[in-house]
Every structure is written in C-alpha cells, then in structure tokens.
Amino acid sequence: MISPLTSSHKHACCVCHRYFADADLQWIGGRTFCAVHHERAISATEAKWSRAGLLEAGLVVLFVLGVSLAFAGGSLPSGGPAALLLALVPAAIWLVYVYRQDRVEPEPLGLVLGVFVLGGLLEHALGDPLVHTLLQLDTWQHRSDLSAWVGAVTIEGTVAVLCAYLAVRYSVYLTSEFDEAIDGVIYATAASLGVATSQNFDLVAHHDHLLPVAGATAMASTTLVAVAAGSLLGYGLGRRRFDAKEGGRWLAGAFLIAAVVHGVFHELIVAAGTSAGEHEPLLGFGVAVGLTVFVLVGVHAITVGYARKMLADGRGDDVDEDDAFEDEEMELAS
Amino acid sequence: MSLGEDLKVRSAPLDVGVWLVVAVLLGGGYAYARAMAPKARVVRAFDGAVSFRLPAGWSGHEQGAAVRDDESTESDESWLDAVDGPEAHTFVAQLPTLDSIVPTVLVERASDPAEPLGPLFHDLEVTRMQTARSDSGTAYRTLHVDERPAFGCEKTTWVWFAIVRDPPHAAPGAAVLPIVVTGVDVLAETASGEAWHIAAFEPAHASEDDEGELRRIVEGLRITP
C-alpha cells in the first residue's frame, strides 16, 4: 500500500495533489501521477472511442423528446426558474461530456463550473447588449439571406466566442491549474456552454407561447453550436499557453474559425429548419445532430491525440515544463 | 484539491491577434450593416407641391395619383402599382408594423384653390378638421393649439389631440382593448392661396424612436408657397 507523504516531499500527484515519494510516482508529459491515477490515465489514452459522447447525444435527443411530450399541446413556461431549468438541462448534458474528455488529469469541477457561470454572465452583461442594443443585429439581419449569414458570423458568432474567450482567458487561463493544452478545450467549451445557456434562458424567458418542439430543438441546437465553437477556441487557447512562438497565431486563427463555425452552424440549422417558408424544427434538429457527430469526432480526436502524445513523451524530458508566458518573459528580459 | 489550494496566478501578455480578429469581424459586420441599411428618401406628391423626407422603413403613397420618388431604387411602375383609391387626393406615409394602428402621416388639400382664404375660412376649416377627427373615435380631447410658421408657409395652425379608437376591423362591442391615439392636425395656408391639412398620429406610448421619426417627418415637410 502506497501512502501519501507530506508536502516536504518534492512531487505530488497532479490529479489528487497528494505528495508521494519519487519511487511511487509515474511521469506523463512532464507531470507526476500516483499509481492509481497513472493507471487511470494510461487506460484512458488506450480507448479508441468514447461511449460518453454517444450517450450524451442520446440524452439530448431524449431532452427534446421529453420537453415535446411534457408540454405537448401547450407552450414552454416562460417563468424564471422553469426557464432556467430548461436552459440548463442541455448545457449540463454537454458539460458532463466535455468534463470527461480530460481523462489524464480531470480538472477541478468547481473551476469548470465557475468558468461556465462566468461565460453566462458575460453573455448576459456584455454579449447581449453588444449584439442587440449597440450593433442592433435584429434590425438588419433579416433583410436578405446574405445579411443573415454576415450577421451570424461577424456579430453573433464573434460576440459569443469573445465572451467564452474572456471567461477563460482572464480567469483560469492565468492559473497554474491550466497545465495542459487540453485544458483549453475543457474550459473554453464550458464557458461557451455558459454563453449558450444564457441565450437559451433569454429565448425561453422572453418568449411567451414558445412551442415545445421548436423551443427544445432550438435550445439543444444552440448548445451543440456552443460545443463546436468552444472546443475550437479551446484548442487555440491551449496552443497559445504552451507554444511561445506560434501560440499567438494559433489562437487568433482558432478564434476566427470558431466564430465562423458558430455562425455557419447556426445558419445551417436555421436554413434546414425553414423549408418553403414553413418552420420544420425537427429537420433543423436533425442537421444539428449531424453536426454533433462532427463535433464529437473532432473533440475526441483532439483529446486522445494529446493524451497519446503525452504518453509517448514519457517523463517529458523533451517537453518544456515552462510555459509560453515564461518563455516570453525571458525573451523580453534579454 | 480544494479551490485555491496550490493555485498560482500569473500575468499574461495581450493576445493582439485575437483582438485584431475581433475588430475586423465586428467592424466588418457593422460596416456591412451600415452599407446595406435603407437610406432615407425624398418623396414628392401632388405634382411636386408637397415634399417629404421619409426615413428607412417608412412607406408612402398618394391615393389617387402617382408619387414621384426621387431617390428610390424602385421603378416608377412599382410605385404606380401601390397607388389606390382613385377618388381621393391624400398622401399617406406609414411605418408598417404588426400593430393595429401604426405611426401615420396624412396630407390632403383642405380647400378649393379657387376660393379665397381668410379668417372665416380658417376658423371653419379648423372646426371641420376637429369635428372630423372627433368623429373618428371617442373621448376626443384637444391637448394644445399653436400657430406658427412652418413647412415654408407663413401661417399654420397646430391642434394636438388625443382620442380613443377601436382597433381596425374590430367588430362593434368586441372584447378588445381600445387604443389611445395621440397626434396633431395642422392647417397650413400658403401665400398663393392654397390650404393643406396635415395629420400625424400614432398610438400613445409608442416607442421614442417612432415618435421621433414621426416628428421629424412632419417638421421636415415642405409645401410650395
């Protein structure tokens, strides 16, 4: 039985943060693991496919079905607590999925939830007024098809991704807990889901007589778009944090692609759900589910790819433990 | 680990690239919106005797004759299509909304140009104007009366009013909320001996933007002396 030691020892497990003798520690990607968490990390990277994503996709479909049946013949409640609950369910489903992606070193749940809440608050306090009051998107987005796409990408997508970026970049990103590139995906997606939850809450709370199928599919689709854009942004944040030379370009590029994906996915879902002037929410939701598969494959590939890379690095002698900030500080000093 | 334990915070340089992307995207979207926004246009009616500057989103047509739209991109044919009511000679400008009563400006000739204008005509015409307005609803109230030069005319009489009306197409006695309408009836007399009736009204408690546009349209109206 390996027993944890005191903090006078040099290294602690990066998951449980308990101190162990060097002989009892294993190294992956420059970080130390106790025997239990090392075994868990190794087994996590050996999985070729995660059932978690499929499970959550099924849960989102169940959410749509459940809401549609529960409020069949009526409309969604627009009251505060009920609206908040409805907005939280799809976000919670995806939050669990995203949280489980970091198999090597799971992030503190409190920090993930904190970033999620911060994203929602930023959307409510900054994003919503910026889009609807300052830039008045509602007054020009529907003038033409082109206006709809331009507005979705340059305004809606950009502001949503900006809120998620701010929520991560000026909070957990600056802390030592952001210690691997995949953390960017975790936190940015959580923040993006917070933004989506705020938008979903506004949708339900500010629209009386919202039809159940339309409302449920809209909320589920919004969270899907958030997962896609958030994971892309997070990849850029991770590269920025641990790549001093090219990280800035990676982040700017990732931000741009995330904003484009956010806007394009949103408009694709809207276009699919609108056929010959008729609203077909289930068709739009079908496209959203199709996009989900794309998102799941992408996020899974990124996650496992990073984990395997770290495993291949072993103790990580070739991996610089200092991050991009310190490299830049040294460059500035010289 | 509990939050805060072993959590080190450090500073980080500004992500210039990200902010450049944000500026380009938001700036581009805003510039596109400005470029595509419908422009205010000058509309002339009554063979050019009356001219308006209609803000974006407002529609205007003359009932009984074609309207020449100086800055509209639409062809004359499309404007002729919008003309209706060949008997009347009234110019109607409205802000189309889903409300049952929308912000509206009306202009019509108030007299036969062959008849001379004078104090008697003025008093009779103002009375006729108020009676006609009173008959269009219930609880008619004159809020304020003013006389001043406007529209390029030396003498105009402004009668601000409030009235209660049923929504259009509501059956008599239907269980619908009546609408309080506020507005102004103006009698304008030109130096050449013509008289015009200008009316502007909207539902009470309309948005400040709509109210401002309505006021600007009326104040910007020009009548050839």
Which of A50, A49, A26 is CA-nearest to residue A39? A26
Contacts of B9 in chain A (CB under 8 A): 174-176
B92 in the Ramachandran plot: left (φ > 0), alpha (ψ -120 to 50) or beta? beta
- Rg of chain A on CA atoms, in Å: 21
Which of A106, A122, A117 is CA-nearest to residue A14? A106
Mark yes or no for CB contact B17/A176 under 8 Å: no
Instruction: Specify the 3-state DSSP secondary structure of A263.
Output: helix
A256/B contact by beta carbon, under 8 A: yes
Instruction: Specify the 3-state DSSP secondary structure of B90.
Output: strand
A255/B contact by beta carbon, under 8 A: yes
Lowest mean pLDDT among A171-175, B29-33, B46-50: B46-50
> Contact at 8 Å (CB) between B216 and B133?
no
Q: Name the token pair of A317.
A: 């002698």
Mark yes or no for CB contact B21/A150 under 8 Å: no
pLDDT interval class at B7 (50, 70, 90): low
pLDDT confidence of residue B94:
86
What is chain A's mean pLDDT, rounded?
A: 79
**DSSP conformation letters of B131-177:** HHHHHTSEEEEEEEEEEEEETTEEEEEEEEEEEEEPPTTPPTT-S--
Contacts of A151 in chain B (CB under 8 A): 29, 33
pLDDT confidence of residue B68:
42
Which of B185, B210, B212 is CA-nearest to residue B97? B210
With a cut of 50, say whether residue A117 has pLDDT above it. Answer: yes
pLDDT interval class at B154 (50, 70, 90): confident
Indicate whether this complex's ipTM tops 0.90.
no
Q: Name the token pair of B175.
A: 């269980």
> Contact at 8 Å (CB) between A96 and A56?
yes
Distance from CA of B9 to the nearest CA of A (A): 4
With a cut of 70, say whether residue B147 has pLDDT above it. Answer: yes
Picking from A158, A166, A326 by the largest number of B CB atoms within 10 A of its own CB, the best residue to mutate is A158
What are A19's strand-pairing partners? A5, A12
The overall longest dimension of chain A from CA atoms, in Å, is 71
**DSSP conformation letters of B15-80:** -HHHHHHHHHHHHHHHHHHHHHSPPPEEEEETTTTEEEEEPTT-EEEEETS--EETT-SS-HHHHH
Identify the closest residue of chain A to B27 by CA–CA distance.
Answer: A154
What are B159's strand-pairing partners? B145, B185
Phi, psi at residue A150, to the nearest 5°? -65, -45
CA distance A131 to A126: 9
For B160-190, how does the pLDDT look when each residue is reduced to its tens digit (9 = 90+)? 999 998 887 777 777 878 889 999 999 998 8
Residue window 282-321, chain A: list those with CB within 8 Å of chain B: none
Mark yes or no for CB contact A147/B16 under 8 Å: no
Neighbour-count burial for A51-85, b at 16+ CB within 10 Å, e otherwise:
ebbeebbebbeebbeebbeebeeeebbbeeeebee
> Contact at 8 Å (CB) between A164 and A191?
yes
Contacts of B213 in chain A (CB under 8 A): none
pTM as predicted: 0.66
Which of A101, A5, A121 is CA-nearest to residue A45? A101
A136/B contact by beta carbon, under 8 A: yes
Residue pairs spanning A and B at CB distance below 8 A: 89
Which member of A12, A140, A173 has the closest CB to residue B37? A140
Identify the closest residue of chain B to A263 by CA–CA distance.
Answer: B25
> Contact at 8 Å (CB) between A165 and A255?
yes
Q: Name the token pair of A142.
A: 């529907």
